[in-house]
Structure 1
Amino acid sequence: MMEKVPFVIRTMAREEVDLAIEWAAQEGWNPGLNDAANYYAADPNGFLIGLLGDEPIATISAIRYDASFGFIGFYIVKPEYRGQGYGIQIWQTALDYLEGCNIALDGVVAQQDNYKKSGFQLAYRNIRYEGVGGGRHETDPLIVPLSALSVAQIQTYEQDFFPAPRPQFLQTWLSQPSAQVYGVLKDGQLGGYGVIRACRSGYKIGPLYADTPEMAGQLFRALKATVSEHDAIYLDVPEVNAEAVALAEREQMTVSFETARMYTQIEPELPLHRIYGVTSFEIG
């Protein structure tokens, strides 16, 4: 009788995060070119891999930002091993790692009912809009590049927009290769900022935060103008922000994807009316 091959779940080494990124690309999630390094900086202990013998067959990320908030992503089982109980094992290990936290995720439509069974509740939908880059960005003294800002300024500004501090991630995110960062100033103070980064296909804008719809539009157009009119661009918008939806539609972007933002506890009080673009569906 053949001995059953053991299924082992352990923390990923940094280079194994590249595998999770590759699987995400195969699923059509279009990760950024530098996402492995960016995401690993958020929580080096938060990436799990499931191996059947020596073969990697499952991944998940469980980013513990602090004692109160965590985010789940990269929940992928190789297609030939789905439906055999491996996914629920690595899922439960991720939940155990985040015990005590309010846990969030962006769930694809097909999995939302399963997430509800684990105690996740729907907060709102995020909609991915697709468009093209290019356009003229007229010089505006209120739109400034990252070089004119300090990381500390941006970290202070971002505190309103995320349920927990994430300084290590933000430092890496802002300095990643193949990305542009712009801020908009209001009375000499930061009134919004946005990042555009290169992905497997085209570019994603995220986050895009702004105090007013006008500032959001200024930032969007500045970021869009950094890439070619032949390049696809993507913006992940909280559907509950009507001004963000209007911005995407005004820019002639079309809906290509949606997720459900879900939480295990009460939805955090975030200024969704100032969030025009989500940073990441994978880690929040």
Structure 2
Amino acid sequence: MTSIRTMRPDDIDAGLELCRLAGWNQKAEDWRRMLALAPDGVFVDEQDGRVVATGSAIHYDTRIGWIGMVLVHPEYRRRGIASAIMNRCIDALRDRGIQSIKLDATDQGRPVYAKLGFRDERPIVRYVGAPHRRALASPSAARPVADADWPQIARLDEQAFGADRIALLKHLAAEGSAVVLSEGDRLRACGFVRPGHNAAQLGPLVAEDEASARAVAEALLAAHAPEQQLYWDVLPDNAHADRLAESYGLTVARRLTRMVLGDVNHCGRIELVHAVAGFELG
């Protein structure tokens, strides 16, 4: 018997098993964050008492919903389970009145999502490597996030992303490192990095210009072990982001397609985005 239901904390180990089978980067903290942000929007497919698939549907206010963590156990693929999970995620977001539903699709998933009505929005690439630090003309002026910074962080990130996701950002700051760059009373950039199973994940990194983005990246990487792998996901429509990731010696490992269902007007300002939060988060 097949049953799609909301995920519970005691399903996290099963979710991690699916991540390991797929070679994905998520840790238990990622699943816990998903459940905290969307307690009614993370789903599992249980067959004969065994969790064989997952999917997540997070919403950022009513403008943007994000589908991710669509995983199916290899023994249960090609049975329509992924499509069933996807439809459950879509329904959950539509029930909340979400205007624009997005996801980052692999080449394999893209035709499946197209059949559900998703359209291509833009490419997204993952840079991977052990970053080498570049010398700056002067020490980075970026500093750790303070409580007083959050209103400006929220405004800058909302401009970049297209919706309010301050709850996500606070989770990421608690799980890893978060820094900002200010000029006087004005916040010019903010960035986050968090641990992962295969590599640390840098992002989001939002900045008004390339120099500010580099200062934040430099501060985030200051405590990064030289041999540790890093994931840095960027939107190539912002050439500055590509150039910045490449300047640290990272190389493209994956190319995906950002897709959208519904309103296409919530795109944010791509020129501000120097790293996204991750394929599963937007």
TM-score w.r.t. length of structure 2: 0.90
Counterpart check, 1:262 vs 2:259: yes
Taking a change above 3 Å as real, the CA distance of residues 68 and 218 of structure 1, as seen in their structure-2 partners, is: closer
Partner of 2:127: 129
Counterpart check, 1:190 vs 2:182: no
Deviations 1:131-152 (A, max 9, x none): 2245377774731112475333
Between 1:26-35 and 1:226-235, the stretch displaced more is 26-35
Between 1:96-105 and 1:145-154, the stretch displaced more is 145-154
- Give the SS at the match of 2:10: helix
Matching of residues 3-82 of structure 1 within 5 Å: 6-32=1-27, 34-82=29-77
Taking a change above 3 Å as real, the CA distance of residues 195 and 68 of structure 1, as seen in their structure-2 partners, is: closer
Partner of 1:207: 204
8 Å Cα contact 1:17/1:47 also seen in 2: no
| 1:88, distance to aligned residue in structure 2 (A) | 2.1
TM-score w.r.t. length of structure 1: 0.90
Taking a change above 3 Å as real, the CA distance of residues 203 and 233 of structure 1, as seen in their structure-2 partners, is: same
**In structure 2, how many angstroms separate the alpha carbons of the residues matched to 1:248 and 1:141?**
17
**Unaligned segments of structure 2, at least 5 residues:** none
8 Å Cα contact 1:208/1:275 also seen in 2: yes
Taking a change above 3 Å as real, the CA distance of residues 17 and 171 of structure 1, as seen in their structure-2 partners, is: same
8 Å Cα contact 1:17/1:40 also seen in 2: no
Deviations 1:203-236 (A, max 9, x none): 1110111100111111112212211111111210
**In structure 1, how many angstroms separate the alpha carbons of the residues matched to 2:260 and 2:7?**
25
Partner of 1:237: 234
**In structure 2, how many angstroms separate the alpha carbons of the residues matched to 1:196 and 1:27?**
22
Between 1:231-240 and 1:179-188, the stretch displaced more is 179-188
**Matching residue's letter, 2:35:** Y
**Unaligned segments of structure 1, at least 5 residues:** 1-5
- Give the SS at the match of 1:159: helix
**In structure 1, how many angstroms separate the alpha carbons of the residues matched to 2:258 and 2:134?**
34
Deviations 1:16-75 (A, max 9, x none): 245324422331221256212222222111101111121111111111333342111111
Partner of 1:151: 150
Equivalenced residue count is 277
8 Å Cα contact 1:43/1:65 also seen in 2: no
CA RMSD of aligned residues (A): 2.1
Q: State the identity %.
A: 29
**Matching residue's letter, 1:237:** V
**In structure 2, how many angstroms separate the alpha carbons of the residues matched to 1:241 and 1:170?**
21
Partner of 1:3: none
**In structure 2, how many angstroms separate the alpha carbons of the residues matched to 1:170 and 1:268?**
19
**Matching residue's letter, 2:233:** D
- Give the SS at the match of 1:182: strand
